[in-house]
Copies of this chain bind each other. A is one copy, B any other.
């Protein structure tokens, strides 16, 4: 199904309808709330910023179930505008009532681009990050809200986002490619020639959302981009790019790159970082895995350099594309462009 849809250019309204539809099912909200790293880091960040939130007016962009809005009231916010475009807003209203915060939190059903607030806000809080940080491009809405509704000197939580890349060796792929060599022993049929077909299918140009195990990461992740949410513009988001350089820990067959991100919350004492690194506890974002066309052998200290560029897909503005130019050791420069398949925009994971 996705193949077919992918080829068709979606009109803006249909894109939005599909996008907002995907958040009406309970599963995604359950996954987000149950993501302890995500929810607890936001909770801590908001509570530790109570100095800057107490008595202030807050805008929660894409409030979902309204949990961040409630954290803000718990941190002393005078008023929170919880803006949510999809029907989960109806649940947010009930949750706000259940927590007796109707006087403090106003749930507004609509997109932040279209809602009209009675006043400017001093704080913007939002959990806008998608797969590979920019998938779903909800950050655009946060920046729009910033430029239209944030008072001078106001704060944004989180205030910074950083993107990282590292070469990895995914053993699952190796196993899946090897599987076809094992069929003969099992059933007396030689299917080894399927391994080539499997390679083209598995090591394709989809951005695969996967949990990368620490052992499979072949170097320290290299930061290739940083976004300051106080200054970055929507225009700049149309192409987020940067160079990287990694040195292999040891000998292995590189068969993919792993992209992950962090967002940082300013805090009185020291900043709080929400990390989706494979070296940190797993989050529902997992990591974005980009498979090479074929594995490349590296040894200790083999240098992997390149440039990553991320931009919205032409078919659907909410879908992210990742283009990677890379050189592994003495190999000649190569490049591959990846995109998120359509199924990932469904509630169904």
Binding site for B on A (CB under 8 A): 1-5, 14, 17-18, 21-22, 25-27, 29-30, 33-34, 36, 39-40, 43, 65, 67, 70-71, 74, 91, 94-95, 98-99, 176, 179-180, 183, 186-194, 197-198, 201-202, 341-343, 345-346, 348
Contact = CB atoms under 8 A, between A and B. Distances in A.
6 contacts: A30-B180, A36-B186, A71-B187, A91-B197, A95-B189, A343-B346
A89 to B, nearest CB: 12
Contacts of A95: 189-191, 193-194
B1 A343 contact: yes
Top 7 nearest A-B pairs by Cβ distance? A26-B201, A26-B198, A94-B193, A1-B346, A343-B348, A70-B189, A98-B190
A7 to B, nearest CB: 11
B26 A3 contact: no
A187 B30 contact: no
Contact of A1 (B5, B34, B70, B176): B5
Contacts of A190: 95, 98-99
A187 B346 contact: no
Given A1-B343, A348-B341, A192 B98 contact: yes
Given A2-B348, A95-B190, 19 more contacts: A1-B1, A1-B21, A2-B346, A3-B21, A4-B21, A27-B202, A29-B194, A30-B179, A71-B189, A94-B193, A95-B189, A95-B191, A95-B193, A98-B192, A99-B189, A99-B190, A341-B348, A343-B343, A343-B346
Per DSSP, chain A at the interface is helix
B4 A18 contact: yes
Nearest to A184: B99
Given A33-B183, A187-B40, A193 B98 contact: yes
